[in-house]
Amino acid sequence: MSSKKAQKLRQSILKYNTEMSKLKDELSYSAAANVKYNKLAIKKAICKKELDAQKTSLIQKIMVKLHLNSTKDKLICDYFKS
């Protein structure tokens, strides 16, 4: 979790936060700023997702894959959702 890639991801998230905070004032009157803000928000979300993926252990990843493979069959309770 404290690898170089995780550190780079944290730095990227902080960089995106600062850039987004600078653009917040311009959002109400500039369409270009709005587009740039949205792109930064997407990049930040991608970095957060990658960082979360690195936090999960190998055992957790295996368990998730096994669980997903075992629940591919349709159960009768799936037809009667309340």
**Domain, as residue range, for 46:** 4-79
pLDDT value of residue 71: 56
pTM of the complete model: 0.65
- C-alpha to C-alpha distances, 46 to 16, 25, 27, 51, 67, nearest whole angstrom: 11, 24, 22, 9, 24
State the total domains in the chain. Answer: 1
pLDDT value of residue 29: 87
pLDDT grade for 8, boundaries at 50, 70 and 90: very high
Q: Does residue 69 have a pLDDT over 80?
A: no
